[in-house]
């Protein structure tokens, strides 16, 4: 990611972008607000950008301002910021909503009822009349909150499994033991995530939005590793070649689920907890 959170997840740091043939769906990155004079004057908080990044943000902002397409934004807000600093979080979010590149749809990952101060939440409710909340699982009140300026309709729902269906019962048990040792419900309480296709209609075109935030299994490998070097080797092996881990299993299920949908235009709003590349080499998941 070119834009990092300078206050540990209190600053916007995710980009979602796609363009469909019939309807432009442009991702909004908060860093692009640095190029928006109306927002920049209000001290938007962002990392020290390089000249190349600044030029890219200006170009993106110009495209977003000029576009008539649906603007969709994803942000993992980490329950209000890992340091508990909701001031920067709420300020940046309010600037985004009031900027020239105001999104039509905002999806907030790791959202909970106390993640945002009342003033920020009141602004979102006022500006985005259509809203949905998808809890990560039955054990938590944290999940993904979707705010939209246009009506939302859930057209499909499923559960994202994490254990390969082809495994025998004994092999599945061993798989759970390896990847979820110490987790409740044999790992289901950690890995299982809901799948939703939320349809939004924009200028007569239906677009299927799938917000998803996968649980990352890499820390679990540290329990199986013999020291830091072994842990690094195991992680790299799974990232490059692993075909039987929770993340790759869920990505395969997600891919098939998306293909089975009837909405022709789709966009995944996501945090896969998976790097696109590692040491310059693309990961198997991507």
Res. 278: pLDDT tops 70: yes
Lowest mean pLDDT across 51-65, 130-144, 177-191: 51-65
| Count of Cβ atoms closer than 10 Å to residue 191 Cβ | 27
- Per-residue pLDDT of 164-189, as tens digits, reads 999 999 999 999 999 998 887 788 98
State what percent of residues in the chain have pLDDT above 90: 44
Q: What kind and span of H or E run contains 98?
A: helix 86-98
Q: What whole-number distance in Å separates Cα of residue 20 and Cα of residue 16?
A: 13
Task: Pull the structure tokens for residue 213.
Answer: 């935030």
User: 252 or 11: whose pLDDT is higher?
Assistant: 252
pLDDT at 44 (0 to 100): 56
Res. 143: pLDDT tops 90: yes
Q: Which residues pair with 130 in a beta bridge?
A: 148
Specify whether the backbone of 186 is left (phi greater than 0), alpha (psi in -120 to 50) or beta: left
Res. 19: pLDDT tops 60: no
Res. 41: pLDDT tops 90: no
**pLDDT tier for residue 49 given thresholds of 50, 70 and 90:** low
With CA atoms as reference, report the closest residue to 179 among 214, 220, 215. Answer: 220
Find the mean pLDDT for residues 213-233. Answer: 87
pLDDT at 46 (0 to 100): 57
For 216, phi then psi, to 5°, come to -90, 135
Find the mean pLDDT for residues 179-206. Answer: 90
Cβ-contact 129, 149 below 8 angstroms: yes
Find the mean pLDDT for residues 68-81. Answer: 87
Res. 27: pLDDT tops 60: no
Res. 16: pLDDT tops 50: no
**pLDDT tier for residue 86 given thresholds of 50, 70 and 90:** low
Q: Evaluate if pTM is beyond 0.95.
A: no
């Amino acid at each position: 990611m070119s834009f990092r959170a300078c206050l540990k997840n209190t600053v916007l740091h995710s980009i979602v972008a796609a363009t469909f043939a019939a309807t432009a769906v442009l991702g909004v990155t908060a860093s692009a607000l640095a190029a928006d004079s109306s927002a920049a004057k209000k001290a938007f908080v962002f990392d020290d950008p390089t000249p190349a990044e600044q030029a890219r943000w200006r170009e993106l902002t110009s495209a977003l301002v000029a576009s008539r397409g649906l603007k969709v934004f994803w942000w993992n807000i980490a329950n209000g910021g890992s340091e508990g600093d909701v001031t920067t979080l709420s300020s940046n979010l309010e600037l985004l909503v009031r900027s020239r590149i105001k999104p039509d749809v905002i999806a907030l990952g790791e959202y909970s009822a106390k993640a945002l101060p009342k003033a920020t939440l009141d602004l979102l409710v006022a500006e985005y009349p259509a809203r949905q909340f998808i809890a990560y699982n039955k054990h938590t009140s944290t999940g993904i909150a979707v705010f939209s300026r246009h009506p939302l309709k859930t057209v499909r729902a499923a559960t994202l499994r994490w254990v390969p269906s082809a495994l025998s019962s004994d092999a599945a048990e061993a798989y759970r033991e390896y990847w979820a040792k110490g987790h409740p419900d044999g790992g289901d309480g950690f890995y299982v995530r809901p799948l939703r296709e939320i349809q939004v209609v924009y200028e007569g075109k239906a677009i299927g939005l799938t917000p998803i935030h996968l649980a990352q299994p890499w820390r679990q490998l540290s329990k199986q590793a013999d020291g830091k070097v072994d842990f690094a080797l195991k992680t790299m092996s799974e990232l490059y070649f692993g075909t039987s881990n929770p993340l790759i299993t869920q990505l395969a299920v997600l891919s098939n689920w998306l293909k089975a949908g009837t909405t022709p235009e789709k966009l995944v709003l996501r945090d896969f907890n998976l790097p696109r590349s590692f040491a310059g080499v693309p990961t198997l998941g991507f």
